């Protein structure tokens, strides 16, 4: 909203209003605003939830130290959602299709998570929302995002580099030897994504159906793409939900993942940087820097109250939402195949649960007595059972997340 106001003021010649043309300025303002929203209004929200006795009824009471967390206010994801949506509405270009898709993702998964928390807290049903209903909602979102990418005329890939001045041409010829490149921009619909660690780091999803003529049946590739998008959104959303088990763990690791995606969005939305790094240039994607900044501010601001000992939990309202947001941004910037790296904590947590279940069932069938691969799953509880203090586990997981984030960024050059 402020973006359009200051754009109008610029047309009137008001000094300083041109600042809002710069993504760097608007993203900085988004971070500050989201931090202020969570830190200033967070305490009031927590006190309100305590007065209404809206808290966790049971939270892993069989773990040492967890009993004291019973009654801690939950549904703190409302704080995160508000701290994302308000700055985005204020500072982002709301006509941008990428921004609209992420706002829809935030509200949709926030609603699903809220329904889950509402059933747990108010109806005293610890199972929450029916798992099939939750899965159906995630699948709907995945299909909606995939179809939007397919149908929207604004979501395109620019195949040829954008050179703005003769000096740019000379620079690229001198540095990269690009004498024979056609410099005429060509924005097209594309099923290409980034494939890490290979020289030609672009992969076309239509090649999965290599036995079908993609020129004759182009829709086949898009059906595959929509299916992959749906799987990724569901998996990452549930992965964030699994990670939300210790104070500050989900919010801290999510902030690191969002910072990684901010870098990808900025580079992919900049014609010069994308050409220098030889990555896809995505017109309009730079606006996601503003959204990612608001996301980082919201998760870090929430960490102010969620760090050990937590004064509030995000609940499924927050965990499902932040996981879904990370997945959708990764898909939009064409970096979804890097998710196992920069979202490695989510992946490990998910794998630990699946491995635990698989091993228990296998030993039960083979020996008549089920055994555990870990002391407890997800993995963070395994270390908790080993007697490692909760803050130390969280700090170490965040350090690992930072290492994985750095590896993800340098894959742009390691091929």
Taking only the tens place, the pLDDT of each residue in 303-320 is 999 999 999 999 999 999
The pLDDT value given to residue 402: 98
Structural domain contains residue 242: yes
Confidence (pLDDT) at 61: 47
On the question of pLDDT at 183 being above 60, the answer is no
Residue 269 inside a domain? The answer is yes
Residue 50 counted as domain residue: yes
Say yes or no to pLDDT of 55 above 80. no
C-alpha closest to that of 144 among 234, 33, 246, 34: 234
Within a domain: 351: no
The pLDDT value recorded for residue 296 is: 98
Q: Does residue 331 lie within any of the structural domains?
A: yes
Lowest mean pLDDT among 25-29, 72-76, 282-286: 72-76
Report if residue 227 sits inside a domain.
yes
If one counts the domains in the chain, the total is 1
**pTM of the shown model:** 0.91
Q: How many CA atoms lie within 13 A of 70 on its CB side?
A: 11
Answer whether residue 179 shows pLDDT above 50.
no
pLDDT of residue 6: 82
Mean pLDDT of the chain: 89
Percent of the chain with pLDDT over 70: 90
Q: Give the torsion through C-alpha atoms of 239, 240, 245, 250, to 10 deg.
A: 140
Determine the distance from the C-alpha atom of residue 49 to the mean position of all C-alpha atoms in its chain, rounded to a whole number: 27
Q: Which domain holds residue 332?
A: 22-341
Look at residue 232 and tell me if it is in a domain.
yes
Using only C-alpha atoms, the chain has a radius of gyration, in whole angstroms, of: 23
pLDDT at 348 over 90: yes
Question: In the predicted model, is pLDDT for residue 175 greater than 50?
Answer: no
Half-sphere exposure of 177 (CA within 13 A, CB side): 0
Q: What is the mean pLDDT of residues 158-164?
A: 63
pLDDT tens for each residue of 353-371: 999 999 999 999 888 888 9
Inside any domain, residue 283: yes
């Amino acid at each position: 909203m402020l973006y359009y106001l200051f754009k109008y003021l610029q047309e009137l010649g008001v000094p300083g209003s041109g600042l809002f043309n710069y993504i760097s300025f608007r993203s900085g303002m988004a971070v500050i605003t989201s931090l202020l929203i969570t830190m200033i209004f967070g305490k009031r929200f927590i006190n309100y939830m305590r007065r209404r006795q809206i808290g966790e009824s049971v939270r892993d009471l069989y773990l040492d130290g967890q009993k004291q967390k019973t009654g801690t206010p939950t549904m703190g994801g409302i704080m995160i959602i508000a701290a994302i949506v308000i700055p985005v509405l204020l500072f982002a270009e709301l006509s941008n299709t990428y921004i609209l898709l992420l706002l829809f993702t935030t509200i949709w998964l926030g609603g699903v998570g809220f329904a889950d928390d509402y059933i747990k807290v108010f109806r005293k049903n610890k199972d929450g929302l029916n798992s099939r209903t939750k899965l159906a909602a995630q699948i709907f979102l995945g299909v909606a995002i995939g179809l939007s990418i397919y149908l929207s005329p604004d979501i395109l890939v620019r195949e040829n580099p954008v050179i703005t001045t003769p000096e740019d041409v000379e620079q690229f010829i001198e540095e990269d030897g690009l004498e024979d490149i056609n410099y005429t921009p060509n924005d097209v619909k594309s099923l290409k994504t980034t494939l890490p660690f290979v020289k030609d780091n672009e992969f076309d999803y239509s090649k999965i159906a290599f036995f079908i003529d993609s020129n004759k049946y182009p829709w086949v590739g898009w059906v595959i793409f929509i299916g992959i998008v749906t799987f990724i959104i569901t998996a990452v959303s549930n992965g964030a939900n699994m990670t939300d088990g210790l104070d500050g763990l989900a919010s801290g690791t999510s902030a690191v993942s969002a910072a990684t995606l901010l870098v990808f969005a900025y580079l992919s939305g900049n014609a010069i940087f994308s050409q220098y790094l030889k990555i896809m240039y995505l017109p309009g994607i730079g606006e996601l820097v503003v959204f990612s900044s608001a996301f980082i501010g919201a998760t870090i601001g929430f960490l102010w109250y969620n760090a050990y000992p937590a004064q509030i939990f995000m609940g499924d309202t927050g965990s499902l939402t932040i996981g879904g947001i990370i997945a959708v941004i990764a898909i939009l910037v064409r970096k979804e195949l890097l998710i196992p790296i920069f979202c490695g904590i989510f992946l490990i947590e998910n794998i630990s649960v699946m491995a635990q279940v698989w091993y228990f069932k296998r030993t039960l069938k083979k020996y008549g007595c089920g055994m555990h691969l870990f002391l407890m799953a997800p993995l963070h509880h395994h270390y908790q059972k080993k007697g490692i203090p909760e803050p130390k586990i969280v700090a170490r997981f965040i350090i690992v997340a930072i290492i994985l984030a750095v590896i993800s960024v340098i894959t742009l050059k390691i091929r």
